[in-house]
Amino acid sequence: MDKQIFNIIFFSLFAFVISIFLVNRITLCNETTKYKTLDEVLLEVEKADGEFKTMKAGIVITRTIPLLESTEISKGKIHYKKPDRLLLKFDPPRDEVNIIDGKHIWVYHPKAKQVEKYTINKGKQTSQSLNFFGFGYGESVASARKDYTISLTDTTEIGKKCFYVLDLLPRNTSTQYTKIRLWIDEGLWLPVKIELHESGGEVVNIIEFDHIKLNSRMSDKLFVFDVPRGVEVVEPFQ
C-alpha cells in the first residue's frame, strides 16, 4: 500500500483510538486489589474521556512485511488537540511533516520541496473511496462495540504498571485492518502500543508512544501549515 495512503488511514485510526481510549489518570498496578474486567476497563474509559483535551508524545512506527523480509522504522514527535488537530514530525531519514488542520491533511517533504494536500470529507466518501476520518472523532465505546468485537486477551505487569491488552476485530470484513491490538496503560488509560494487521497479517504496523504528556496548552497556530516559498503543492485526488 502507498505510504501516503497509509499515513491518511493511520491518522484516522489514531483519532479513533485516542477519542475512545485516551484519559488522564494515574494508577499503579500494586494499588489495585484486582485486575479489571473488559467491561470495567471500558467503563473507566468512557467516564474519563471528557478529561482529555490535548496530547503530545514521542512516536515510533514500525511497518513490517514478513514475506519480503522488509522492516521500516520511523521515529518522531506527535501533537494532538481535540477534536481535529494533529501535528506529526518524523526525524531523518524519513524527514517528513504531517499536519491535520481540521479541513486538510498536509504531507510535507522538505528535501523534495513538495507538499501533498488532501481534503477531509467528514462522513463522506471521496471519489477514491477513501473516507479519511472513517473511524471518527469522539466515537463512544458503544459505537466501537457496534463496529468491532472487543476482547480482553491479556493483563500484564511491567514493573509497577499494569497493561490491558485488547483485541478489536472488525465486524465488516472489508475494512483495512483485519485485527487491531491495543496495549492500554492503566496509569493513563491510553494505548501506548497499537498493532495493526492488514492483508490477513501479511503486513503489520506497530505504533508506540513514549514520554506522553496530556492537557498541555496548544495553540491552533501549531497546526497551521504555511506553504514555504518554492514548495510545490500537489493534490493527488483532485
CB atoms within 10 A of CB 135: 24
Using alpha carbons only, give the angle 142, 146, 150 rounded to the nearest 5 degrees: 85
Q: What is the mean pLDDT of residues 205-228?
A: 93
Query: 30 pLDDT band (50/70/90 cuts)?
Result: low
Q: What is the mean pLDDT of residues 216-233?
A: 96
> Which cell is 21 given?
481510549
- pLDDT of 48: 63
- The answer to whether 131 and 142 have CB atoms below 8 angstroms apart is no
- Convert the pLDDT of each residue in 43-95 to its tens digit: 777 766 667 788 899 999 999 998 889 999 999 999 989 888 999 999 999 99
- The rounded distance, in Å, linking the Cα atoms of 235 and 238 is 6
Q: Position 109: which residue type?
A: H
> Which cell is 142 given?
458503544
Residues of the domain holding 32: 3-234
Number of domains in the chain: 1
- Convert the pLDDT of each residue in 110-135 to its tens digit: 999 999 999 887 554 332 222 222 23
State the CATH number of the domain containing residue 110. 2.50.20.10
Classify residue 77 as left (phi > 0), alpha (psi -120 to 50) or beta.
beta
Query: 24 pLDDT band (50/70/90 cuts)?
Result: very low
Q: Is pLDDT at 152 greater than 80 in this prediction?
A: yes
